[in-house]
Structure 1
Amino acid sequence: MSDCCVKSKSKVFQITLYVFLLLCLNYAIATTTNNDLKALHDFKSHIVKDPFHFMNLWNDSIHHCNWTGITCNMFNGRVIYMNLSSQGLSGIVTQSIENITFLTRINLSYNTFYGEFPQKVGHLLNLQELYINNNNFSGNIPSNLSHCRELIALDAGQNNLTGTIPTWIGNLTSLVNLFLSRNNLHGNIPYEVGSLSNLRFLGLSLNYLSGKVPSSIYNITSMTHFAVAGNHLYGDIPDGVGFTLPNLEAFLCESNNFTGSIPRSLVNASKLEILGFGINGLTGRVPDNLGLLRRLSYLNFQENRLGSGRAGDLSFLDSLVNCTVLEFLGLHFNSFGGELPISIANLSIQLNTFNIGSNRIHGNIPAGIGNLENLASLALERNNLTGSIPDSLGMLQNLQVLFLGDNHFSGRIPFSIGNLSSLTKLYMELNYFEGSIPSSLGNCHKLLLLGLHRNKLTGTIPKEVIGLSSLADYFDVSNNSLSGTLPTEVGKLVHLGFLDLSENKFSGVIPSSLGSCTSLLTLYLQGNYFDGNIPRTLQNLRALDDLDLSRNNLSGKIPKFLGDFKLLQHLNLSNNDLDGDIPTNGIFKKNATAIAIYGNNKLCGGVRELNLPACTIRKASMLRKFLAPKVAIPAIIAFVILLSASCFLAIFMVKRERKKTSRTEDLELAISYSTIAKCTGGFAQENLIGSGSFGSVYKGILPNDGPTIAIKVLNLEQRGASRSFIGECQVLRNIRHRNLLKIITAISSIDHQGNDFKALVFEFMPNRSLEEWLHPINNVQYHTNTLTFIQRLNIAIDVSSALEYLHQSCQTAIVHCDIKPSNVLLDNDMVAHVGDFGLATFLLEESSNSSMHSIMSSTLKGSIGYIPPEYGMGVKPSVVGDIYSYGILLLEIFTGKRPTDEAFEGGIGIQQFIERALPNHVMEIVDPSMFSQQESDEGEENAIRREFYNETVMKDCIVSVMQIGLSCSATSPSDRMHIADVVKTLNAIKKSFIRIQQNAL
């Protein structure tokens, strides 16, 4: 065969082979691209929610490489990128995703995908980026992901992942970014993380990790960011950390449980720009060599246990003057003592935030603080600072937030404070400032919040200040000695939500311009000298949920429009001179316990629950109408004589009856012993609902379908029972409040055997006592019921409101002396009512009958665990004693633990138990049952609600409540929180919680 033929056949063979290979390649491409298409269709079929109709764009009318969110390789047509971020998609991700084998990037972030992320993601060997953050994925981190050796970025943050961080994570040596924050991961950070030599950012925040941070992490020499905030990590910070991270730029370990001291060797990480150990358990001194970190811009040690409370604790600030780019300095909530060093005047000119509140610092504010010209936030609150505020503070032109509250500052508020034109929040409450409010504050046109309450301020409110239309959060000047009329400029507060002018000496009429403040949610004007009618213009304040006009000199009728306020929850008009009939609409009809009108003796009518006389129409004089002129004068004389005789007889009978009834004179004795015996079934055991030191409480139903009542029958053989009965009658005849147990009558009689019988009849509380809800027993019907967080908060507010009334609104202050769960009763709507005034006493003036005061004090008893320590040293009953008992009660409400719990031993009480847990471990000590009784809505709404309850806002609210409880139960009476501030703060916590909850839902 010729060479020509051989060459020809060889060429034909080559062409044939080429065509064959080309056909095979095309077939392979067609097959694999078809696999991509099938996998995408399968992915689409499992989408159950698509609010933006994103998946409608995935249809066969166009090639799948042109589908929105899909990117293909231009040479082989294979899918390499899926980007479905922020489309509101919901569903599961199926295992078929493994068939899109050329995928290099997957982004499913910010959707609501759920279920376990498929294990077969590990078959995507080309995967470089996986973003599944901000979804609802559950289960463990897929173990097969260990095969994706090309992975550079893994973000699975903000899901519901469980389990531990796997050790195989160390095999992903290409990782640069690793985010696993906001999950439910537990266990240790594996030592193998130290193998990730390319890692630049590690985020493990808000999990349940524990143990020590492995030393291998500190050998990641190229690592530039390390964030493990919000976990429960334990152990000391290794002292060698600074030596092994020379290239570290950001080191964030906030919201953990690190203990021990801060290592001096940290300064060897000379490239550090961000150093954050906030919210841990660090102790000891802050190293005084931190100034060597000259690149430092962020330094945060807040909420630790640093410092000793003594001089020298703040010496490290001297070295920080070398950190010339420092912008953030967080040191609040520690135990730093001593004085603020003068060197703070030389801190970085770029310093934006300087927070050092809630420590033990004393002395003055250095005048040089005015040098920090870029300061935007200065927090010095809750220290022991004294002296006056330096005028140089007015040089901080960029200052936006200034916290000076709860110190011992005195003198006048400097006029220069008006130069702070950027100021948005100013807190100066709980100090000893005196003099007038500077009118220059009117220059702060960005001010949203102004708190000047509980000082010694005098004079009038400048119209420039009361007319600051920027004020939106709250304006509080309560508990000062301000006087004069309220300027009409108050009507400019059109954005304000909270206005408190209470407990001052304001006089004159309430200006009608106040009706322009249509954003008001809370308006407190009580405890002043306002007179005249309630302005009709207030009908514009339809957003009000809390209105208090009590203890003024207001007159006229109660406006009917108050009943039209659909959001109104509390209305206090007590102790004025109001007259006429009470409206019967809105809050006056639906919730009589939410209104207070006592102390207005000319009121009548209203709903039956108010127990007021019916209103009558006064007509022309009966004498003038029916008596003829000739007999008018003799008849009048006869009438006067008859009236005089009647009055004399009435006075005689009243005096006689007073002696007979042993001081129960002002309580109507309308129910007989026989009636009580009958309605309780002869005081049958099945009607016994409680017992105490002085008697037993029975449930009964009055005849003729009357109301259900509770009868407290005194055991007169018990020593002190009669005196308790007299004392309780003395108290109950003088008080009326929506959160106090309402008394129906008192009975002082004899039983069928001729024995003395004394009883008090109260309104029945169907949900019984708080004791039975917090500490149920097996045979009680409430055993399966629990109180939610918001119910507990409402009960806490109710009890504090009752105490505020007893301490501040009664003619003579009343001390309850026995605040505890069994004396807090719950009505059908779970509204709390404080009862059992058997130990209560009046705070008599020094000029009052001292012998009576001695008798009342000698009978004072309390309940173990709730008695303030000073009572044991012979100190007389006081309102701050009640506040101590309330503080213990508040801690018990939210922990579910009695103050006598067996867990508290060895000198540890409930206060110390909670102090040790705040703030990091607070969710570990609260009563877990408060989270088990959420509403049973189905579907996504319930899922969102559950997610919300796990958010940090819940923790923040509980921490704030616990801090109130600790403040109220402080050992020293002078350190205890004022009851008015308790009510105000708890209501603020509730409003914040509800607002955020509504936004979340």
Structure 2
Amino acid sequence: ILNFKNLEYFNMDFCTAFSNSFLQMSELMASLKYLSLSNSYLNGTILDQGLCELVYLQEVNIDRNNLSGSLPWCLANLTYLRLLDVSFNQLTENISSSPLMNLTYIEELWLSNNHFQISISLEPFFNHSKLKFFDGDIYAEIETSHSSLTPKFQLTSISLFGHGDSGIFPKFLYHQHDLEYVDLSHLNLTREFPNWLLEKNKKLKRLSLVNISLFGPFPLPIHCHKNLRVLDVSNNKLQGHIPIEIGEVLPNLVVLNVATNAFNGSIPSSFGNTWPWGCFYLEYLVLSNNSLQGQLFSKEFNLTKLKRLNLDGNHFIGDIPKTLSNCSALQGLYISDNNISGNIPTRLGNLSFLDAIMMPNNRLEGPIPSAFCQLRHLEILDLSRNNISGSLPSCSSPFNIRRVHLSKNMLQGPLLGDLSYNRLNSNIPDWMNRLPQLRYLILANNGLEGEMPLQLCWLNKLQLVDLSHNNLSGQIPHCLYNISFNYREDNHDLFDQDPQILYQLPQLQILYTNYHNHKYLTNFTTKQRLYTYEVQPLHSMSGLDLSCNKLIGEIPLQIGELSRIHTLNLSHNNLTGESPVTFSHMKQVESLDLSYNNLNGKIPPRLIELNALAVFSVAFNNLSGKTPDRVAQFGTFEEDSYEGNPFLCGQPLLKSCNENGP
């Protein structure tokens, strides 16, 4: 760097080598025009960094650091500056009294995810005639100015993320006609859909109005708008019918998200019309959580480019249309919580790109098509809470499958995943070790028999295992301690990211705006209660339930080494021997149920070290000796935790102990 006095371009994104100190050498880089230090762990104030000495700067990217304080006034001297990105820092000040007011030739301002006070009117920037891109968070919310001034700028992109009540659409928007990107999410504007934005801005490509309290009907512009690619009005209060002419007015839509509104009526037939009178290019159609009804699609449905179809949480009836097989690019099908009936079309097996099929809580019947075996990319299958019958298709090793939810149907024969409350019988399949990513194994309330396969121990990422209420026999495998019961998969949920990133992902595979409705439900008994868990809460839940079987032999000492397990239920079996002293190692266990077995010997006294224990039962065994000291959690357990052991004594039992014996 010391020899680069003529250096004009400097990019050290994601680099900590120079961190806070290198800009103090700014006099050695006097010709610098482009500076990028994104994600470089810069901290402190910008004034401390020597930035203002680089007077020829045209672009500055110091976003995603830990900078604090206010913008230094010397920034006003950077008269060549055209782009400033300070987003994702800890900066704070009233923007109307900041040096940005003097940078009237600036073209792009990226200010979001700080603590700036920015008026929704943007009036402080009305003299910035070159301004094209503005990205910021609105904290000074309500537009109070009655000024008749009009802005000198014509924006191309505007992102204003709200933090409270903003009242009305900002007046400057009525003067814009070159907009291509608009995001006003979370501004709580409480207004009708602004179809005038589309009328005035023929170049508009993306319009995001998520959760801004829009209400009333959904009027479209009068004339065809050929440039709009993304329209997201989810999480509002829009009502009435989705306009029947939407395919004709917005023929080039790629993403349409109207989830979580109050729309009723049927799906507009114009969605399936041929180009140029339909949404021929539509890839993501999200209509979840409305009051839509009728058949899913008309016979003309022909969205061949569709990748994600979200129709869950409505009142659709009838069969799954065969025309859905025309969607040869379909990757995700979500139609849960409707009244869909009939058989699952065999033709769905021809949609080779499908990775998720979510159809729980409908009235589907008949068998699962054997054609599903052709879906080599399938990772998630949820057909729970239907009337599906028959047995599972005999497929070759399902290497890609991660989650299977088929509970509360009328299935027969063996399988895996969440298959509780079916009519499965036979043994647990020994090929289960071919599913190394399996996290939840729910096979409760079936007719499973035979011994637990040792291959189960190879699934070391299992977090929740429920084999209760079956006819399993034999001993508990010693190798179960290989299962961590604590596996946490790294989550990269789309909406943990900057919402703008959504439009920068050409390989986007899943579009979940109302993420709550794509969690997976399962039942699991812990603390003597049956809970219905969703997958997200299950990240903090781990357990092993082998209750209500015919297991015999001693409890392996190794089970006590499951130090991160939250619930262990071995009740209602024929287990013998003593309670393992290693149980005191399960420091995170909250529920421990060993009741209704044939255990003997003493209760390990060191169990009192289990400070997280909320439910404990050894009732109805053949235990003897003194109950654990009534300290810590054990001071909360009553007689029913110990009853049915005639040779036990000590509180809270009525039978006292004496020095000569129980």
TM-score calculated relative to the size of structure 1: 0.51
Query: Could you report, residue by residue, the CA deviation over 1:66-125 in whole angstroms, capped at 9, with x for unpaired residues?
Result: xxxx4x44xxxxx55543333234642588467465543332223111100017644544
Structure 2: distance between partners of 1:707 and 1:403: 45
Verify: 1:84 aligned to 2:12, yes or no: yes
Structure 2: distance between partners of 1:733 and 1:135: 60
How far residue 314 of structure 1 moved from its aligned partner, in angstroms, is 1.4
1:307-326 alignment to 2 at 5 Å?
307=239, 312-315=240-243, 317-326=244-253
- For residue 475 of structure 1, what is the aligned residue in structure 2? 404
1:686-835 alignment to 2 at 5 Å?
709-710=635-636, 747=654
1:945-964 alignment to 2 at 5 Å?
none
How far residue 416 of structure 1 moved from its aligned partner, in angstroms, is 1.9
Larger Rg: 1
Check the 8 A contact 1:302/1:331 in 2, yes or no.
yes
- For residue 574 of structure 2, what is the aligned residue in structure 1? 601
Change (3 A) 1:199 1:512: same
Which amino acid is the alignment partner of residue 111 of structure 2?
A: L
Verify: 1:285 aligned to 2:217, yes or no: yes
- 1:533 equivalent among 418, 431, 451: 451
Q: Which stretches in structure 2 are left out of the alignment for 5+ residues?
A: 487-541, 584-593, 602-618, 645-649, 657-662
Verify: 1:509 aligned to 2:434, yes or no: no
Structure 2: distance between partners of 1:732 and 1:367: 64
How far residue 234 of structure 1 moved from its aligned partner, in angstroms, is 1.4
Check the 8 A contact 1:579/1:604 in 2, yes or no.
no
- For residue 893 of structure 1, what is the aligned residue in structure 2? none
Change (3 A) 1:218 1:401: farther
Verify: 1:160 aligned to 2:90, yes or no: yes
**Identity value in percent:** 28
Which amino acid is the alignment partner of residue 387 of structure 1?
A: G
1:436-515 alignment to 2 at 5 Å?
436-464=367-395, 467-472=397-402, 474-486=403-415, 499-515=417-433
- For residue 334 of structure 1, what is the aligned residue in structure 2? 261
DSSP-derived class of the 1:505 partner = coil
1:132-281 alignment to 2 at 5 Å?
132-167=62-97, 168-189=99-120, 190-204=122-136, 208=139, 210-212=141-143, 219=151, 222-229=154-161, 232=164, 234-238=166-170, 241-242=173-174, 244-266=175-197, 267-281=199-213
- For residue 905 of structure 1, what is the aligned residue in structure 2? none
Verify: 1:411 aligned to 2:327, yes or no: no
Check the 8 A contact 1:90/1:112 in 2, yes or no.
no
How far residue 258 of structure 1 moved from its aligned partner, in angstroms, is 2.8
How far residue 747 of structure 1 moved from its aligned partner, in angstroms, is 4.6
Which amino acid is the alignment partner of residue 429 of structure 2?
A: P
How far residue 152 of structure 1 moved from its aligned partner, in angstroms, is 0.7
- 2:309 equivalent among 375, 378, 383: 378
Structure 2: distance between partners of 1:218 and 1:438: 63
Structure 1: distance between partners of 2:320 and 2:181: 36
Structure 1: distance between partners of 2:9 and 2:429: 66
Verify: 1:296 aligned to 2:228, yes or no: yes
How far residue 247 of structure 1 moved from its aligned partner, in angstroms, is 2.0
Which amino acid is the alignment partner of residue 203 of structure 2?
A: K
- For residue 986 of structure 1, what is the aligned residue in structure 2? none
Check the 8 A contact 1:460/1:483 in 2, yes or no.
yes
Check the 8 A contact 1:170/1:194 in 2, yes or no.
no
How far residue 413 of structure 1 moved from its aligned partner, in angstroms, is 1.2
Check the 8 A contact 1:564/1:585 in 2, yes or no.
no
DSSP-derived class of the 1:523 partner = strand
Structure 1: distance between partners of 2:129 and 2:349: 54
DSSP-derived class of the 1:286 partner = coil
- For residue 717 of structure 1, what is the aligned residue in structure 2? none
Check the 8 A contact 1:291/1:319 in 2, yes or no.
no
Query: Could you report, residue by residue, the CA deviation over 1:239-294 in whole angstroms, capped at 9, with x for unpaired residues?
Result: 7844x212222222234333212234221222222222123222222223265323
How far residue 322 of structure 1 moved from its aligned partner, in angstroms, is 2.7
Q: Indicate the structure with greater strand content.
A: 2
Verify: 1:118 aligned to 2:91, yes or no: no
TM-score calculated relative to the size of structure 2: 0.75
- Moved beyond 6 Å, runs of 4+: 213-218, 731-734
Structure 2: distance between partners of 1:195 and 1:550: 71
Change (3 A) 1:213 1:324: farther
DSSP-derived class of the 2:189 partner = strand
Query: Could you report, residue by residue, the CA deviation over 1:162-212 in whole angstroms, capped at 9, with x for unpaired residues?
Result: 22323453432221111112223234244122222222211225x756334
- 2:35 equivalent among 106, 113, 121: 106
Change (3 A) 1:579 1:140: same
Which amino acid is the alignment partner of residue 574 of structure 1?
A: S
How far residue 606 of structure 1 moved from its aligned partner, in angstroms, is 2.7
Q: Indicate the structure with greater helix content.
A: 1
DSSP-derived class of the 1:343 partner = helix
DSSP-derived class of the 2:279 partner = coil
Structure 1: distance between partners of 2:52 and 2:217: 48
How far residue 329 of structure 1 moved from its aligned partner, in angstroms, is 1.0
Structure 2: distance between partners of 1:170 and 1:707: 62
Q: Which sits farther off after the overlay, 149-158 or 588-597?
A: 588-597
How far residue 153 of structure 1 moved from its aligned partner, in angstroms, is 0.8
DSSP-derived class of the 1:236 partner = coil
DSSP-derived class of the 1:367 partner = coil
How far residue 374 of structure 1 moved from its aligned partner, in angstroms, is 0.8
Which amino acid is the alignment partner of residue 16 of structure 2?
A: G
Which amino acid is the alignment partner of residue 169 of structure 1?
A: L
Q: Which stretches in structure 1 are left out of the alignment for 5+ residues?
A: 1-57, 59-63, 74-78, 491-498, 617-665, 677-699, 713-727, 735-742, 750-1001
Counting matched residue pairs gives 556
Query: Could you report, residue by residue, the CA deviation over 1:42-80 in whole angstroms, capped at 9, with x for unpaired residues?
Result: xxxxxxxxxxxxxxxx5xxxxx33xxxx4x44xxxxx55
Change (3 A) 1:576 1:202: same
How far residue 340 of structure 1 moved from its aligned partner, in angstroms, is 1.8
- For residue 345 of structure 1, what is the aligned residue in structure 2? 272
Which amino acid is the alignment partner of residue 248 of structure 2?
A: V
